[in-house]
């Protein structure tokens, strides 16, 4: 293409260079003079061949607010802090050593006693002062009606007392559901016909919540998804004098494929049925359909009306739209559970060198906050807090 043809396209040839530097004019500013290099030489500080253009007449350039880390930090809209984290802890008493959970690298069933105290003390040293307790119930204590759930000397209740005795200002959350204690592996009592009994289950959930409050729990957290359980638990707590114990409801808990490693940790997956009993193979008759969005509003309105203090969405990353929905629907604090499957995926990718674990995890935590979550239940609680503190 010759010089005359280049000029016809709005481009000027540059002589004296091994490669041609092109001056490109915006069509809308074709009447303005192009910027040319001095003496036909390429500009310093840019790669040879970089186009020389007329600066755009832009009153607003958003990139000005991204120019330095100092300024980006100053105007950052969502801040992640260890104060936002609730650390899940799995507890067992089948020996004195911690048991690694194969599908959750770096996470253990903690041996009841000193190991639990040491783990929580480490979390507190990095600013994480909230935990939620999940007990691993021995099989011989599991029954179809799960009475171990409200045993005042059960593992969950003893763990709560242990934590509050050692850390009086620790915020202790509990799990209110029957599946860790149910020999059928469901959150509620299962009839012989395979129906999860709603109202009968709630009676035992109320007893469970009261027993946890008596042990010293600050927040009871019904994860069972039975209809009406928040109101029933609130009345039971108030009746026993626990008006200051809060309820964090699993408001939008979906029947998700991301729970597999958690069920490994507690051996709480649904069990096969028997000749005379039909056991549902999944929890789809009480947990929400992953395809549903508007249904979360119905659940949120019910929980708020029944006395929930905090509403939770579970799982986390695949359901950020639901987190935002609850944030915009209710004035209540919103929690989100960064579940075991999400943790396992990040760990697996990081172990293979496919992701920068620190950057990916902190981005995920930021996304939860940006979507509207006030509280984040995450197995990365300690690691993320170390990274936030600047540790490698």
As a whole number of angstroms, the distance between CA 121 and CA 219 comes to: 20
**The residue to which tokens 């499957």 are assigned:** 341
Tokens in use for 353? 């060198």
Q: Is 253 an annotated catalytic residue?
A: yes
Beta partners for 92? 111
Distance CA 371, CA 159 (A): 33
Give the separation between CA 352 and CA 339, rounded to whole angstroms. 21
Catalytic residue among 136, 142, 283, 314: 314
Residue whose C-alpha is closest to residue 269's, from 278, 256, 281, 257 = 281
Nearest to 385 by CA among 163, 169, 112, 131: 131
d(CA 155, CA 92): 8
Backbone phi and psi for residue 95, each to the nearest 5 degrees, phi listed first: 135, 180
Residue 380: Cβ within 10 Å count: 25
Determine the straight-line distance between the first and last CA of the chain, rounded to whole angstroms.
Answer: 55
- The catalytic position among 136, 253, 283, 347 is 253
Q: Which of 88, 200, 195, 76 is nearest to 136 (CA)?
A: 88
Q: Are 237 and 210 in contact (CB under 8 A)?
A: yes
Catalytic residue annotation: 253, 314
């Amino acid at each position: 293409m010759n010089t005359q043809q280049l000029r016809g396209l709005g481009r000027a040839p540059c002589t004296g260079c091994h490669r041609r530097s092109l001056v490109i004019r915006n069509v809308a500013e074709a009447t303005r003079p192009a910027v040319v290099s001095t003496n036909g030489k390429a500009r310093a500080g840019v790669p040879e061949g970089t186009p020389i253009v007329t600066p755009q007449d832009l009153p607003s350039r958003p990139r000005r607010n991204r120019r330095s880390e100092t300024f980006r930090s100053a105007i950052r809209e969502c801040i992640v802090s260890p104060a936002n984290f609730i650390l899940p802890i799995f507890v067992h008493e089948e020996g004195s050593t911690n048991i690694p959970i194969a599908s959750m690298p770096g996470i253990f069933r903690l041996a009841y006693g000193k190991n639990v105290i040491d783990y929580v003390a480490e979390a507190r040293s990095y600013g994480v002062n909230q935990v939620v307790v999940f007990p691993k119930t021995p099989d011989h204590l599991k029954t179809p009606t799960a009475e171990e759930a409200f045993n005042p000397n059960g593992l969950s209740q003893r763990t709560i007392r242990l934590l509050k005795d050692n850390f009086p200002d620790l915020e202790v959350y509990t799990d209110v559901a029957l599946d860790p204690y149910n020999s059928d592996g469901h959150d509620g009592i299962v009839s012989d016909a395979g129906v999860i009994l709603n109202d009968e289950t709630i009676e035992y959930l109320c007893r469970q919540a009261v027993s946890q409050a008596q042990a010293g729990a600050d927040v009871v957290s019904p994860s069972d998804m039975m209809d009406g359980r928040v109101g029933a638990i609130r009345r039971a707590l108030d009746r026993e004098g626990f008006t200051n114990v809060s309820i964090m409801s699993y408001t939008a808990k979906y029947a998700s494929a991301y729970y597999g490693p958690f069920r490994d940790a507690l051996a709480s997956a649904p069990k096969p049925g028997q000749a005379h009993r039909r056991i549902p193979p999944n929890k789809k008759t009480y947990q929400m359909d992953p395809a549903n969005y508007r249904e979360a509003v119905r659940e949120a309105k019910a929980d708020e009306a029944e006395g929930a203090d905090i509403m939770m969405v579970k799982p986390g990353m695949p359901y950020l739209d639901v987190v935002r929905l609850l944030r915009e629907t209710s004035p209540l604090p919103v929690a989100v559970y960064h579940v075991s499957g999400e943790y396992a995926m990040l760990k697996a990718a990081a172990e293979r060198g496919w992701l920068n674990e620190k950057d990916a995890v902190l981005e995920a935590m930021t996304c939860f906050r940006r979507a509207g979550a006030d509280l984040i239940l995450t197995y990365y609680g300690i690691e993320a807090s170390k990274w936030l503190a600047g540790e490698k």
